[in-house]
Structure 1
Amino acid sequence: MPNPVIVITGASRGIGLAVTRSLLKEHNAHVVTISRTRTPELSQLIQEHEQSLLTLECDITDEPAVKTISTSIFSRSLPAIRASLPDLRESKGRIIFISSGAATGNIYGWGAYNASKAAMNSLSRTLASEEPSIVSLALAPGRVDTAMQAVLRDAGAQHMKATDHKNFVDAYNEGTLVNPYDVGYVIAALSLRAPLSLTGQFVKWDNEECREFRRK
């Protein structure tokens, strides 16, 4: 059986980069990434995995560009490529949405972010209902030690309640932020092996449902 190909959007940094790294280094997968930029970290992975990593630069809100990207993926003829719902149905594929606790939260000043993550969860549930052969799962990665957390600490005070901002600062100072490579491993494993029993669910990365997908 050929190794699977996983398409990762936003793969140049943060959790997306961690997932890409885990798929390549720990799960022996062929990977296609889509991101707006190519960071030094992603460039390093390209050098290390020339035969198993295809990187494409694109803004996924640009529909014509996305169509061109799809053509490019197929023209490379990498094994196990699934670039559309018909192929996902045939392969009984998996879609892992990176959600957030904000989907059910109410942090002051976060209206747009909270609403967008709630909408993502709704999309995941609806897709699970409409596509019963595809695993559709929304996952909350927790407070991950990424650039987003740094922005919240540095600039969040003027937009958030003091108590909420303090919680983010304290999480960093106390060393309780999630290692992106730990949660990246779980997401990578779920993208390869998540069972149909999880479809439509919203789970936290360190909950019991994800125990078997953590790094041993």
Structure 2
Amino acid sequence: MPTALITGASGGIGSAIARALAPTHDLLLAGRPSARLDAVALELDATTFPMDLTDTEAIESACEIVDELDVLVHNAGLSIPGRVEETSVEEWRATFSVNVFGPVALTLALLPALRAARGQVVFINSGAGRNASPGMASYSASKFALRAFADSLRGDEPGLRVTTVYPGRTDTEMQRELVAFEGGEYDPHNFLRAETVAAAVANVVATPRDGHVHEVMLRPGKR
């Protein structure tokens, strides 16, 4: 079977993507070692791939063993809510380290393997990557940067298929933290399900080779 590497696969959208791809792919679940990541790997008969996206040197070393890779899903992300005046440079650095520099380093390290397989790269972005969200300054800026990186990769690597997925607000722990920051009451029915986002990713991956899906936008609908 083809191989897919997914970052941030221990929960939320990441574990949902892993479940959606498990029937058709051998899975490498990348992330910091944790009981949650181990549980997903055990459930899906997948392989954990220890990785810290903030350690670019370790990323390069870890990827040396990967000769071919059919699918790379950049899902891991960090959100530190805050209006511009409330943010610090350290928070911006932390956000960009996970949301931008980590994906860049991982993509560069895996480019030979992706080229060998004529593979696909899927970026899980955000609605904030198209329209900046109030109170999400560093997060929105990082997602705009991630969008530009995906577009650049698509232009510079014509042998690869590169897709950016822009989910609207999704029922995850990150969303609960954001609603708490906003002072609202959390109702999961107001948001996309992680499984819905995962289904969109699986459809992108399953697109026949003569098709190249550049972007997918999802927004919550009526339940």
TM alignment of 1:96-135, pairs within 5 A: 96-135=122-161
Tell me the secondary structure at the aligned position of residue 56 of structure 1.
Answer: strand
Give yes or no for contact 1:99–1:138 (8 Å, CA) kept in 2.
yes
Q: Distance in 1 between matches of 2:118 and 2:135?
A: 39
User: Post-superposition shift, 1:117?
Assistant: 0.8
CA RMSD of aligned residues (A): 2.5
- The structure-2 alpha-carbon separation of the partners of 1:205 and 1:133, relative to structure 1 and needing over 3 Å to count, comes to farther
User: Post-superposition shift, 1:72?
Assistant: 4.8
Q: Distance in 2 between matches of 1:37 and 1:97?
A: 22
Q: Distance in 1 between matches of 2:158 and 2:69?
A: 20
* Worse overlay, 190-199 or 132-141: 190-199
Q: Distance in 2 between matches of 1:176 and 1:198?
A: 31
Counterpart pick for 2:59 among 60, 63, 66 = 66
Q: Distance in 1 between matches of 2:121 and 2:8?
A: 15
Say whether residues 1:23 and 2:21 are aligned partners: yes
Give yes or no for contact 1:96–1:136 (8 Å, CA) kept in 2.
yes
Give yes or no for contact 2:171–2:188 (8 Å, CA) kept in 1.
no
User: Post-superposition shift, 1:85?
Assistant: 1.6
TM alignment of 1:1-40, pairs within 5 A: 3-24=1-22, 27-40=23-36
In percent, how many aligned pairs have the same letter? 29
Deviation by residue 1:130-154 (Cα, 9 ceiling, x = unmatched): 0111111111122110001110122
Query: Residue in 2 aligned with 1:156?
Result: 182
Q: So what's the TM-score if we normalise by structure 2? A: 0.71
Give yes or no for contact 1:95–1:191 (8 Å, CA) kept in 2.
no
Alignment size in residue pairs: 182
- The structure-2 alpha-carbon separation of the partners of 1:142 and 1:195, relative to structure 1 and needing over 3 Å to count, comes to farther
User: Post-superposition shift, 1:63?
Assistant: 2.0
User: Post-superposition shift, 1:4?
Assistant: 1.0
Tell me the secondary structure at the aligned position of residue 84 of structure 1.
Answer: helix
- The structure-2 alpha-carbon separation of the partners of 1:90 and 1:196, relative to structure 1 and needing over 3 Å to count, comes to farther
- The structure-2 alpha-carbon separation of the partners of 1:148 and 1:194, relative to structure 1 and needing over 3 Å to count, comes to farther
Structure whose CA Rg is larger: 1
Say whether residues 1:177 and 2:195 are aligned partners: no
Q: Distance in 1 between matches of 2:65 and 2:148?
A: 31
- The structure-2 alpha-carbon separation of the partners of 1:85 and 1:101, relative to structure 1 and needing over 3 Å to count, comes to same
Query: Residue in 2 aligned with 1:190?
Result: 204
- The structure-2 alpha-carbon separation of the partners of 1:94 and 1:196, relative to structure 1 and needing over 3 Å to count, comes to farther
Give yes or no for contact 1:34–1:55 (8 Å, CA) kept in 2.
yes
Q: So what's the TM-score if we normalise by structure 1? A: 0.73
- The structure-2 alpha-carbon separation of the partners of 1:108 and 1:48, relative to structure 1 and needing over 3 Å to count, comes to closer
Deviation by residue 1:80-124 (Cα, 9 ceiling, x = unmatched): 545722332232211010111111223322221111111111111
TM alignment of 1:79-94, pairs within 5 A: 81=69, 84-94=110-120
Query: Residue in 2 aligned with 1:160?
Result: none
Q: Which runs of 5+ in 1 are unaligned?
A: 75-79, 158-165, 208-216
- The structure-2 alpha-carbon separation of the partners of 1:48 and 1:128, relative to structure 1 and needing over 3 Å to count, comes to same
Tell me the secondary structure at the aligned position of residue 149 of structure 2.
Answer: helix
